[in-house]
Amino acid sequence: MAETPNTQNWPELAIGLYDKLTGRNAEISYSFDEFELNVPSSTAADSPSAHWKMNGTIRIATRDRAADQAS
């Protein structure tokens, strides 16, 4: 099995997640109730972070438009 390289930043994480889900009609749904999270600005050990508060639902869904058009 090929080794997956480590994610170095938030855009790489988002792209990797999208690539894994596309073409699989996948959806990930998260529901938050007064959830708080400190999000680092980088992967460095001393990286500053932003404080996020979340309430509600975040839904991530993908689809393969080329496959949709072919059917």
- pTM, rounded to two decimals: 0.38
Contact, 41 vs 51, CB < 8 A?
Answer: no
Q: Dump pLDDT digits (tens) for 9-65.
A: 777 877 777 777 776 777 777 788 888 989 888 888 899 999 989 888 887 776 666
Which are the contacts of 12, defined by CB distance < 8 A and separation ≥ 6? Answer: none
Q: In this predicted model, what pLDDT tens digit does every residue of 31-46 receive, in sequence order?
A: 888 889 898 888 888 9
